Amino acid sequence: MWKGIDVSDNQGVIDWAQVAASKVAFAILRSVRRSGKEDHQFAANLEGCRKHGIPIAVYKYTYAATPEVAQQEAQQIVALLRSYELTGTMVWWDVEDKGALRPLGVEKLTECIRAAQEVITTAGYGFGLYIGLYVYKERWFDFNAFAGTRLWIARYYRGYRTMQFDDEPDQKYKPNVDGDISVWQYTSCGEIPGIRGDADLDIAYDDPAEWTHPAAEPGVIYTVSVADVWTREQAEVIRQQFAAMGINGIVHKVKILE
């Protein structure tokens, strides 16, 4: 497991040397504000992480109530990341606003998230979903539509009592969802040297360096064919060749419909 933090200009000026000394394994930085302008501390936070070798991802708190606005928000993030020459960065799409998003209903909110995902992944960046556990339990959107998309879930099992970065979260309170999660945000009242006041603390269950790769899709495998068209005789020869190597195969008859 990897322990990290997520921060914004709400944390003010951060002493990243002290943060790094605490052995932070990753940092998730707020990208753009509601206005579309970059977080006031984004440049300084990115510089600090780069200087001290802390892997980064970014997040965006979305207010988008239409697919068009979701695309605009996503384009703002892409523009920001490109302006800092960031490639392959993981973008966590923060879906939690009860006022703007909850009233949309499952179908419309799903469309909004899809619109953002398309912009971000087409630009070459990773895409994941940040939600509160209540969003999952209340099924704000169609989670099946995002199979293979990483989940970062917030659940503050100690309420608003202060936790130190060195404290180990009690795994029995890990968010209970169908399948695996990539990140658990376990407190918003964390204390860590280098940050004045509270900070969000997180634990990752897979390597942050791999976040740009799709998560495993339960019950789904992908195959690669070595040829597109075989006669039945050719297919049987190939099957026998594979069998000789200890690889069992089945010849399938596929009818092409025009």
Query: Which segments within the chain are labelled E, that is strand?
Result: 2-7, 26-30, 56-61, 90-94, 126-132, 150-154, 163-164, 183-191, 199-204
> Which residues, 6+ apart, have CB-to-CB distance to 138 below 8 Å?
102
3-class secondary-structure state, position 29: strand
> Which residues, 6+ apart, have CB-to-CB distance to 152 below 8 Å?
92, 128, 129, 130, 131, 181, 182, 183, 184, 185, 202
What pLDDT is recorded for position 218? 47
* Domain 2-210 listed as CATH 3.20.20.80: yes
What pLDDT is recorded for position 221? 47
pLDDT tens across the length of the chain (258 residues): 999 999 999 999 999 999 999 999 999 999 999 999 999 999 999 999 999 999 999 999 999 999 999 999 999 999 999 999 999 999 999 999 999 999 999 999 999 999 999 999 999 999 999 999 999 999 999 999 999 899 999 999 888 889 999 999 999 999 999 888 999 999 999 999 999 999 999 999 999 988 876 665 544 544 555 555 556 666 767 777 767 666 666 666 665 554
What pLDDT is recorded for position 210? 83
List the alpha helices (DSSP H) in 34-158.
42-51, 67-83, 106-122, 133-138
Q: For the chain, what are the domain ranges?
A: 2-210, 223-258
Q: What is the value of pTM for the model shown?
A: 0.82
Other Cβ atoms closer than 10 A to 43: 12
